[in-house]
Structure 1
Amino acid sequence: MSYFIKEEQIRFRHTDFAGIVFYPRFLEMLNDLVEDWFDEALDRPFSKIHETNGIPTVDLKVQFKNAARIGEILTKKLWVKELKSSSVICGFQFINQQEKTVLEGEVTLVNVAIAEDRKTIKAEAFNDEVKAKIEKYQL
């Protein structure tokens, strides 16, 4: 099993007046990591998923461990802690260039079907192909 890993440089747009990452930007970076994982590792790009389905976050636990500063490069890691029929609990960790954890936690995502009129949303099991791809990231 393995981690899904991406790097991201902290830019001016991520920071507050003190030059450190403003906490909501971390959540955007996490969502980018999830979106990249679905696109690159699971072959389920959000542009296609959202035609008929969705993958909303239903639970999020975050711990801010150290500040991240403009110009730094973070290594973002994601792995699967638990896979259920229609949901997946992923662990994540962002590490700076000094090998210090900046952010860590877990996110629960649910695979949902969206009705054609966009008014009804209900959990839907992952298909076997997607489950097999997700399992490759289970630690």
Structure 2
Amino acid sequence: MDTVDNTDDAGEPDFQPVFENRVRFAETDQQGIVFYGEYFTFQDETVSQFFREIDYSYEEMEADGWQVHVVNAELNYRDAAEFGDVLVNELRVAEMGTASITFEYRVRRKSDDRTLADGTVTQVAVDLETEEPIAVPDAFREAVAAFQGGLASADP
């Protein structure tokens, strides 16, 4: 049986394409390009879709008594997207600490494979009732590792 290597040349998990969208007119600015703030919306939708892809949705988190809160988000803008462009939004879990999950995000234009933006978003697992940080559940860690072929740890 062949094994699939889901890592890049540095041994990091590969980016997974998890969400495609076509740029809508409402997402563009007066210059006719995607308004920079929209990329955070694309990034957020990509994280949500990632959770669905690993079969661990927000609803399942809540049923298990936890949720995530964004504590940091960063984006680097590389090139402009315009009305009608199809965007491929990719994600990977770069690090998982005791209570934190850091995602690396990248969005490419489908027609020419050009990277338009990349960045990170860090979320912290919190108890649903107390909203205090908790350890990321093992079931979630296992789902991520199975989906992307492993994961890196942010702390011991």
Please indicate the TM-score interval, normalised by the length of the shorter structure: 0.7 to 0.9
Could you tell me how far apart the structure 2 residues matched to 1:12 and 1:56 are? Answer: 30
Match of 2:127 in 1: 113
Percent same amino acid among aligned pairs? 24
Retained in 2: the 8 A contact 1:38–1:46?
Answer: yes
SS at match of 2:135: coil
Alignment of 1:1-139 (within 5 A): 1=6, 2-5=14-17, 6-41=19-54, 43-50=55-62, 52-96=65-109, 97-115=111-129, 120-136=130-146, 137=148, 138=151
Could you tell me how far apart the structure 2 residues matched to 1:49 and 1:18 are? Answer: 40
Per-residue deviation at 1:61?
1.9
Q: Normalised by the size of structure 2, how large is the TM-score?
A: 0.77
Give the superposed CA RMSD: 1.8
Per-residue deviation at 1:135?
2.1
Q: Normalised by the size of structure 1, how large is the TM-score?
A: 0.86
Retained in 2: the 8 A contact 1:21–1:68?
Answer: yes
| Comparing 14-23 and 45-54, the one that deviates more | 45-54
Q: Which aligned runs of 4 or more in structure 1 are off by greater than 3 angstroms?
A: 47-52
Could you tell me how far apart the structure 1 residues matched to 2:81 and 2:126 are? Answer: 34
Could you tell me how far apart the structure 1 residues matched to 2:79 and 2:39 are? Answer: 12
**Structure 1: segments with no counterpart, 5+ residues:** none
Could you tell me how far apart the structure 2 residues matched to 1:28 and 1:47 are? Answer: 20
Could you tell me how far apart the structure 2 residues matched to 1:54 and 1:38 are? Answer: 12
Match of 2:3 in 1: none
**Structure 2: segments with no counterpart, 5+ residues:** 1-5, 7-13
Give deviations 1:2-45, integer Å, cap 9, x for gaps: 4331211111121112221111111011100001111221x222
Specify the code of the residue in structure 1 equivalent to 2:24. R
Give deviations 1:67-125, integer Å, cap 9, x for gaps: 1101001111101211112211111110112121100011111111132xxxx411111
